[in-house]
């Protein structure tokens, strides 16, 4: 996707360092192209150059975006947050994270003691239930065969 980064010549990324400095910042941009998977937004650099980055469809709105065309149109002026500048010069942007009210959802990776206790009791219950069902089947087979 050579058009993701405008103004970058083959093999060099003269504006990459400038964009890295903008990482985490909120800047103004203009939607230049829409695709099913996201929007290409052109942002101005401090030296007056322009860089085109991708706002993935999951970064357009906090709600699920089924149809990006219902949210954006080419030529729209939007605020975007510079999420990442990759080694190859590609720029990841976000519209939803540029919203001043945006709060990152906390991902809870730690399981509480309550969850562990519940899982332990559930496994014990399932094991006993399977044993009881197996015994009931054996008894039915014994009656059918008599």
Banded model confidence at residue 115, pLDDT cuts 50, 70, 90: confident
Question: What pLDDT does 5 receive?
Answer: 39
pLDDT cut 90: percent of the chain above it: 31
Which two tokens mark 144?
């059918």
pLDDT of residue 128: 87
Res 69 pLDDT > 80: yes
Stronger pLDDT, 102 or 52, i.e. the higher one: 52
First to last CA, the chain: 75
DSSP secondary structure string for all residues of 83-141: EEE-TTS-EEEESGGGSTT--PPPP--SPPHHHHHHHHHHHHHHHHHHHHHHHHHHHHH
pLDDT greater than 60 at residue 91:
yes
Higher-confidence residue of 127 and 3: namely 127
The full set of domain ranges for the chain reads 2-98, 108-146
Q: Is the pLDDT of residue 6 over 60?
A: no
CA distances from 30 to 16, 64, 93 (A): 19, 22, 12
Look up the CATH number of domain 2-98.
Answer: 2.40.50.140
CA–CA separation, 144 and 139 (whole Å): 9
pTM: 0.61
Amino acid 57: pLDDT? 94
Q: What residues pair up with 54 in beta bridges, in sequence order?
A: 40, 92
**Rounded to whole angstroms, how far apart are CA atoms 22 and 44?**
11
Instruction: Identify which has the larger pLDDT, 35 or 118.
Output: 35
């Amino acid at each position: 996707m050579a058009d993701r980064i405008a103004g970058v010549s083959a093999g060099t990324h003269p504006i990459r360092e400038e964009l890295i400095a903008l990482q985490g910042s909120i800047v103004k941009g203009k939607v230049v192209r829409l695709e099913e998977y996201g929007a290409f937004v052109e942002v101005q650099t401090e030296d007056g150059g322009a860089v085109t980055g991708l706002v993935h469809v999951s970064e357009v709105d906090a709600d699920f975006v089924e149809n990006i065309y219902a949210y954006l149109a080419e030529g729209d002026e939007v605020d975007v947050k510079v999420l990442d500048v990759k080694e190859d010069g590609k720029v990841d942007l976000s519209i939803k994270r540029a919203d001043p009210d945006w709060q990152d959802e906390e991902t809870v990776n730690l399981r509480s003691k309550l969850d562990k206790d519940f899982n332990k009791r559930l496994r014990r219950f399932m094991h006993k239930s399977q044993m009881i069902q197996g015994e009931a089947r054996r008894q039915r087979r014994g009656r059918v065969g008599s």
